[in-house]
Structure 1
Amino acid sequence: MRYLATILGIALCIPVIMFRKAFETNIRQQIIELESYKDRNPFRLFFISDIHRRKITKDLIEEVGTGIQAVIIGGDLAESGVPLEQIEHNINQLAKIGPIYYVWGNNDREVGEHHIRKYIQNVDGTILENEAIRIKTNAHHLWIVGIEDVSSGRADIKKSFENVPDNDPIIFLSHTPFVFNKVKNQYSPDILLAGHTHGGQIRFGKWGYYEKGALIQNRDDFTLISNGFGTTFVPFRFGAPAECHILTIRHKEV
């Protein structure tokens, strides 16, 4: 009977732990060195994806701090059922960190595309829809290339890269990472950013529906697939911590 009570106690604790894990705030500080980045001053960006139903707090904004030159939102800013005032609040909070650059996720339009467009326009943010934007750094520049949500059927990789020179540092942004290989086969981005997978959200060791998120340095590029900030279906996490990222891009000495 005592063993049964112990097992039952453990079983009841697991959902509580998973619920708490879903609302953690983990900011990953990561460094990327690129030969193509010529500026001697680092470029710092904040990347967050898959916010879904979570609320961006004042504490998160304060922890990120100052000196961020771009806030990149990798889609699924919202989903059906999220109050519009919360979505607007989240965008307004993120805009306090720095200029916003956003791509659509597969759930965002469930709350009404026009609402998100309005909220991002109100903070002078940029929605990247199969296009690229040139960002000035202190003494140089880089490009952010963003595609439409793949599930919408409107993603156009070729169009998004058509005005981007090969020799400049390039950040490619997509909600889903499943286009990464196709992009790398046709173009040469230095950094590829995505979310969508939630790192599997609930995983046990190496077992999960998707791979755990990570920043990986490959031979010719860096890929970051984030576990994401929020959750989908149920507010539970285990083995795939909620996360957002501060990336510091700096010149690599050859």
Structure 2
Amino acid sequence: MIEISRRSFILGSALALLSYSLLEVNFLLVKKYTILVKGLSPAFDGFTILHLSDLHNKEFGHKQEKLLNLINKQEFHLVAITGDLVDKRNPRVMPGIHLVEKLSHKPVYFVPGNHDWWNGFKFREQLIESGVKILENQAEKFSLNGEHFWVVGVDDPYLGRDNLGQALLNVNDAAPKILLAHAPNIYDAAIKSGIDLVMVGHTHGGQVRLPILGAIVIPGQDLFPKLDYGLFTSGKTSMIINGGLGESVLPIRFNMKPEIVLLTLRTDQ
């Protein structure tokens, strides 16, 4: 009788965890960071970036209504999308297009991810027509009130398509550099190049995170990977790993809700 009760408890617990994991994929979270940026002009003090990543053609309501309702409640000045709008197993483009079309009232920057390339990045022109600026190993000066910082974008590091040296070729002053990339593999190169802030996705935070231990596995890293989720710093370089909106391989999340990130810049002057 005791053995049957124990088995029932284990089975019931497993089913409860699975049910929660299937439900958590639809719980949206707003994650906020404040980053001190050396040399940032006071004109950008309080400047906020909305960071989105890894939609994987997921839909939050009709034409992303639920997701957009949450976004529209936030205050931000620029949008950064770090890849994987589509999923290679079911590469539907319109969920991502419905999202970016409603964000076009703000500057929107995009760098592609591995799933975008596994689909041939066929939606490039649709993004451009929606007002999105695609950065593939290039940099653009972002100006406000006569001051500026650099938005640098590299092609997907996970597939080895990144070339940070090329991206920095036209950066001709010491203004802060904000790097967009799909995967955190770029971190060491960013540190060596003096990048101030790196914004990436790809990891989904592991999708399943164990208490204390964190993510179990992430493509391109070993078991219990170091660069899995959240804020990392080394010298002047900070990196934010976004937990993403969608899922890959398995449609589950545990202890890692889908999220949008709001990153506020502060000057050290």
* TM-score of the superposed pair, with normalisation by structure 1: 0.89
Alignment pair present for 1:199 and 2:205: yes
Counterparts of residues 62-73 of structure 1 (less than 5 Å): 62-65=69-72, 67-73=75-81
1:27 aligns with 2:30: yes
Pairing 1:125-164 to 2, within 5 Å after superposition: 125-164=132-171
- Report how far residue 15 of structure 1 moved: 1.1
Residues 32-58 of structure 1 deviation map (CA, whole Å, 9 limit, x = unaligned): 122311124421110011111322533
In structure 2, stretches of 5+ residues that fail to align are 218-224
Cα distance change, pair 178–154 in 1 and its aligned pair in 2 (3 A): closer
Give yes or no for contact 1:176–1:196 (8 Å, CA) kept in 2.
yes
Q: Counterparts of 1:181 and 1:151 in 2: how far apart (Å)? A: 14
Q: Is the 8 A contact 1:213 1:240 kept in 2?
A: no
**In structure 2, what is the equivalent of residue 55 of structure 1?**
59
Aligned length: 250
1:171 matched residue in structure 2 = 178
Amino acid at match of 2:232: I
Task: Specify the SS of the correspondent of 1:16.
Answer: helix
Matches within 5 A, 1:1-254: 1-40=4-43, 41-56=45-60, 57-65=64-72, 67-80=75-88, 81-95=90-104, 98-114=106-122, 116-185=123-192, 187-205=193-211, 206-207=213-214, 208-209=216-217, 210-211=225-226, 212-253=228-269
For residues 5 and 150 of structure 1, what CA distance do their matches in structure 2 show?
A: 46
- Which digits, 9 at most, give the CA deviation of each residue in 1:167-193, with x for residues without a partner? 1011011111112102321x1111011
In the alignment, the residues of structure 2 paired with residue 95 and residue 17 of structure 1 have an alpha-carbon distance, to the nearest angstrom, of 35
Shift, 1:110, TM fit: 3.6
The Cα of 1:67 is off from its aligned counterpart by 4.2
Does the Cα contact within 8 Å between 2:56 and 2:86 map onto a contact in 1? Answer: yes
Whether the aligned pair in 2 keeps the contact of 1:190 and 1:221 (CA below 8 Å) is yes
State the secondary structure of the residue aligned to 2:114.
Answer: coil
Structure 1 position 89, deviation (Å): 1.4
Measured on the aligned residues, the alpha-carbon RMSD in Å equals 2.0
CA separation of 1:240/1:163 partners in 2, compared to 1, >3 Å: closer, same or farther?
same
**Following TM superposition, by how much is the alpha carbon of 1:220 offset from its aligned partner in structure 2, in angstroms?**
1.0
SS of aligned partner of 2:49:
strand
CA distance in structure 2 between the partners assigned to 1:72 and 1:220 by the alignment: 21
Shift of residue 138, structure 1, vs aligned partner: 3.9
Secondary structure, aligned partner of 1:150: coil
SS in 1 for 2:94: helix
Stretch moving more, 244-253 or 85-94:
85-94
- Contiguous gaps of at least 5 residues in structure 1: none
2: CA distance between counterparts of 1:67 and 1:214? Answer: 21
The one-letter amino acid of 1:216's match is: F
2 CA distance for matches of 1:175 and 1:64?
21
Structure 1 counterpart SS, 2:42 = coil
CA distance in 1, matches of 2:145, 2:256: 36
Amino acid at match of 2:259: E
Contact 1:39–1:138 (Cα < 8 Å) also in 2? no
